[in-house]
């Protein structure tokens, strides 16, 4: 009985995956392992990758851990995909250093690795003698710098500024932060009074910024290292009835953030193109499968989205 | 007279232990057949499933949560719950890692990590036994304290980059078998013996079955409860060693939700959350069922969202079957 129930449940649930695997077994299979799928950024990336896969006639397997920072689960997924003999592996590392062990395993199985969005720690990779075929992503440092420059402009060069950081030790967030500080350094009138992590999460963005407002009521500008945290903070600002009085700059340019910029609850966001990243990842993975060479780094455009750059768009 | 009575209590509780042990052994066969039929289905569905390298891969992936679940089995058999295992894993992991980074020898660093796990576990045990806190509350508190401790200790940053020797804990293979798997098997053999052959094991059943009866028959309930939580703490710290070596990094946010995975492995393995019955062998099979399932769903490229639904169903169904059979037995 127990056996029967387990067999039936499992077969039903696996039907979807099975059909896909059985129908197209001879086409090359490319894996895209994302940090998570509960974040619009990665869903955009998945869409871009799926489009490219359709055009190139390859099978795309998209997998992700439930939590963005679950490095161990991401490693397990990669190990399992290596066992299923995918032809190429594209990955957005959950941890810049922790991913290295998984990359080395892919290297040993002679599966080319394309790293997307978050860089792998170069020293750790070298230390473990791992190799990455190419990195596709935007220059987060440059994005942070753009945000810093615009902050100075929006505040007229003086005022208290707060920062919502990503998860500490996360290469993406750290670069954005360094870029922002680099730009702010040139503005003696701007003072960073609080810089705390909201762990990339919207609800934490709300809570942490609410707390910052309590301790620093004079804050006039906020730079959040991601739009999710920025949008959380926007709600906290609305709750404190300070909408429009604090210049919020986010990062990622989600549709919701672009809307906020148009409505004026945020002053700017930095646009990365996750869909382009996904497309480039698959296209280059296909090239690698065919034995063609690819550049070591493939930059993806990054730009500032403000009220002036947005009005034409619906 | 009094002595006589307490002896008869002891005899009775010993009897019931062996009776329960018999039932749980019978049930293990049910859990094992669940694992085997799951494997059979995967073998039919995926050509990649039944290969030596994939099976070893599953065993390696399961090893960390399985070690945590071994300690959890003792706690649950003794009628408690330990929600702090994931946080203890993170805390002992970062303490060990910082001691390694500071250039201490590997044995010393390992001992430090294990000691942190043991002490936190003992603290749980004392809060529950002498402090009379419900296990849920005491370990919920510890879960938050140890997580915060790990974050404060590292300022939120992972500690990484260890020597080749330390990493070899996770990367060495003995006759193709990854070393973490050997550690896991060692832990399970020891825990099985401890549960079946030692006072600690038998008293854990007695306390979980009927704490008052155990107390009246002269069991030092405070001591053995504390030991059980200490054991769970050590298991978490040992899992931290494996995880840190595997990722070459100790993260203060490691092990989030591990308490849920470990509890799932324990209950799927046929241990009752009410306490008093269960086995570590069942837990190992339970952990493997979840590991095989995750692996299989990855191999079949099932969407990540559907995977969660499937895993949830398997946990619920496994325990449902268990209750069903138990009801029938009576």
Q: What is the 3-state secondary structure (H, E, C) of chain A?
A: CHHHHHHHHHHHHHHHHHHHHHHCCCCCEEEEEECCCCCHHHHHHHHHHHHHHHHHCCEEEEEECCCCCCHHHHHHHHHHHHHCCCCEEEECCCCCCCCHHHHHHHHHCCCCEEEECCCCCHHHHHHCCCCCCEEEECCHHHHHHHHHHHHHHHCCCCEEEEEEECCCCCHHHHHHHHHHHHHHHCCCCEEEEEEEECCCCHHHHHHHHHHHHHHCCCEEEEEECCHHHHHHHHHHHHHCCCCCCCEEEEEECCHHHHHHHHHCCCCEEEECCHHHHHHHHHHHHHHHHCCCCCCCEEECCCEEEECCCCCCCC
- Report pLDDT for A253: 87
Residue B178: strand, helix, or coil: strand
Q: What percentage of residues in chain A have a pLDDT greater than 90?
A: 65
Same domain, A261 and A279: no
Residue A20 pLDDT > 50, yes or no? no
Give mean pLDDT, residues A34-46. Answer: 90
**A246 domain residue, yes or no:** yes
CB spacing of B299 vs A84 below 8 angstroms: yes
- For residues B13 and B218, is the Cβ–Cβ distance under 8 A? no
Query: What is the number of residues in chain B?
Result: 330
CA-nearest residue to B242 within chain A is A72
CA-nearest residue to B291 within chain A is A76
Q: What is the DSSP string of B272-304?
A: -TTSS---HHHHHHHHHHHHHHHHHHHHTT--H
Answer yes or no: CATH 1.10.3470 is held by domain B2-30+62-281. yes
Best residue in A2, A45, A61, A195 for a mutation probing chain B (most B CBs within 10 Å): A2
Residue A1 pLDDT > 70, yes or no? no
What gap in Å lies between CA A170 and CA B217, rounded to an integer?
Answer: 56
The C-alpha of A7 sits at a distance from chain B's nearest C-alpha, in angstroms, of: 7
Residue B49: strand, helix, or coil: coil
Q: Which residues of chain B have pLDDT under 50?
A: 1-22, 330
What gap in Å lies between CA A265 and CA A259, rounded to an integer?
Answer: 9
CB spacing of B246 vs A101 below 8 angstroms: yes
CATH number at residue A116: 3.40.50.2300
- Report pLDDT for A221: 94
Same domain, A29 and A121: yes
Residue A19 pLDDT > 90, yes or no? no
What domain range is A22 assigned to? Answer: 16-138+274-300
- Report pLDDT for A260: 93
- Report pLDDT for A25: 56
**A5 domain residue, yes or no:** no
Best residue in B301, B307, B324, B325 for a mutation probing chain A (most A CBs within 10 Å): B301
Give mean pLDDT, residues A292-313. Answer: 81
**A313 domain residue, yes or no:** no
Best residue in A22, A101, A126 for a mutation probing chain B (most B CBs within 10 Å): A101
Same domain, A94 and A173: no
The DSSP secondary-structure symbol of B94 reads: H
Q: By mean pLDDT, which of A16-20, A104-108, A285-289, B205-209 is the weakest?
A: A16-20
- Report pLDDT for A89: 96
- Report pLDDT for A23: 47
ipTM of the complex: 0.81
What gap in Å lies between CA B103 and CA B105, rounded to an integer?
Answer: 6
Q: Which of the four pLDDT bands, split at 50, 70 and 90, describes residue A5? A: low
Q: Which of the four pLDDT bands, split at 50, 70 and 90, describes residue A14? A: low
Final residue belonging to a domain, choices A234, A250, A271: A271
Same domain, A22 and A124: yes
B114-140 tens-digit pLDDT:
999 999 999 999 999 999 999 999 999
- Report pLDDT for B317: 85
What gap in Å lies between CA A251 and CA B254, rounded to an integer?
Answer: 26
Q: Which of the four pLDDT bands, split at 50, 70 and 90, describes residue A232? A: very high
Residue A16 pLDDT > 50, yes or no? no
What gap in Å lies between CA B162 and CA A225, rounded to an integer?
Answer: 30
CA-nearest residue to A123 within chain B is B161
Between A and B, how many CB-CB pairs are < 8 A? 151
Q: How far apart are the first and last CA of chain B?
A: 34
Give mean pLDDT, residues A78-107. Answer: 93
Average model confidence (pLDDT) across chain A: 88
A117-172 tens-digit pLDDT:
988 988 889 988 999 999 999 889 999 999 999 999 999 988 999 999 988 777 78
What gap in Å lies between CA A53 and CA A47, rounded to an integer?
Answer: 10
**A7 domain residue, yes or no:** no
Residue B160: strand, helix, or coil: strand
């Amino acid at each position: 009985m127990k056996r029967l129930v387990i067999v039936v449940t499992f077969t039903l649930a696996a039907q979807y995956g099975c059909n896909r695997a059985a129908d197209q077994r001879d086409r090359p299979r490319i894996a895209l392992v994302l940090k998570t799928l509960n974040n619009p950024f990665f869903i955009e990336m998945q869409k871009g990758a799926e489009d490219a896969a359709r055009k190139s006639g390859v099978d795309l397997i998209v997998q992700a851990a439930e939590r963005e920072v679950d490095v161990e689960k991401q490693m397990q997924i990669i190990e399992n995909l290596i066992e299923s003999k995918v032809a190429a592996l594209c990955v957005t590392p959950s941890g810049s250093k922790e991913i290295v062990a998984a990359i080395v395993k892919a290297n040993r199985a002679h599966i080319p690795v394309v790293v997307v969005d978050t860089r792998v720690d170069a020293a750790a990779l070298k230390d473990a003698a791992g190799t990455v075929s190419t990195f596709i992503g935007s220059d987060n440092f440059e994005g942070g710098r753009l945000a810093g420059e615009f902050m100075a402009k929006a505040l007229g060069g003086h005022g208290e500024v707060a920062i919502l950081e990503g998860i500490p030790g996360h290469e993406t967030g750290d670069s954005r932060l360094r870029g922002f500080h680099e730009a702010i350094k040139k503005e003696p009138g701007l003072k960073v009074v609080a810089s705390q992590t909201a762990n990339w999460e919207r609800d934490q963005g709300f809570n942490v910024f609410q707390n910052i407002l309590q301790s620093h009521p004079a804050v006039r500008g906020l730079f959040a290292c991601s739009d999710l945290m920025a949008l959380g903070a926007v709600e906290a600002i609305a709750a404190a009835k300070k909408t429009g009085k604090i210049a919020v700059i986010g990062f990622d340019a989600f549709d919701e953030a672009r809307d906020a910029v148009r409505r004026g609850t945020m002053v700017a966001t930095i646009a990365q193109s996750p869909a382009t990243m996904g497309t480039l990842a698959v296209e280059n993975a296909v090239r690698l499968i065919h034995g063609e060479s690819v550049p070591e780094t493939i930059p993806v455009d990054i730009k500032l989205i403000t009220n002036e750059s947005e009005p034409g768009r619906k | 007279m009094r002595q006589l009575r307490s002896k008869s209590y002891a005899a009775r509780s010993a009897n019931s232990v062996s009776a329960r042990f018999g039932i749980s052994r019978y049930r293990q066969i049910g859990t094992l057949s669940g694992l085997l039929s799951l494997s059979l289905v995967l073998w039919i569905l995926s050509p990649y499933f039944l290969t030596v390298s994939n099976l070893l891969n599953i065993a390696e992936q399961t090893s960390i949560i399985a070690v945590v679940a071994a300690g959890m089995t003792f706690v649950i058999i003794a009628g408690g719950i330990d929600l702090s295992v994931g946080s203890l894993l993170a805390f002992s992991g970062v303490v060990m890692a910082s001691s390694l980074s500071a250039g201490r020898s590997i044995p010393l660093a390992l001992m430090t990590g294990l000691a942190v796990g043991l002490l936190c576990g003992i603290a749980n045990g004392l809060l529950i036994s002498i402090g009379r806190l419900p296990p849920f509350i005491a370990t919920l508190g510890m879960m938050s304290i140890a997580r915060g401790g790990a974050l404060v200790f590292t300022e939120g940053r992972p500690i990484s980059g260890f020597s080749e020797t330390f990493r070899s804990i996770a990367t060495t293979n003995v006759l193709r078998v990854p070393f973490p798997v050997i550690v896991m098997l060692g832990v399970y053999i020891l825990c099985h013996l401890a549960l079946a052959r030692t006072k600690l094991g038998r008293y854990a059943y007695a306390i979980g079955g009927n704490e008052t009866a155990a107390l009246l028959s002269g069991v030092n309930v405070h001591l053995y409860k504390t030991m059980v939580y200490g054991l769970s703490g050590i298991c978490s710290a040992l899992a931290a060693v494996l995880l840190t070596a595997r990722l070459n990094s100790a993260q203060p946010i490691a092990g989030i939700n591990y308490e849920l995975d470990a509890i799932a492995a324990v209950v799927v393995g046929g241990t009752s959350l009410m306490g008093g019955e269960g086995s570590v062998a069942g837990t190992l099979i339970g952990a493997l069922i979840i590991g095989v399932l995750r692996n299989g769903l990855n191999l079949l490229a099932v969407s990540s969202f559907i995977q969660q639904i499937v895993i949830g169903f398997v946990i619920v169904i496994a325990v449902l079957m268990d209750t069903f059979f138990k009801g029938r037995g009576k």
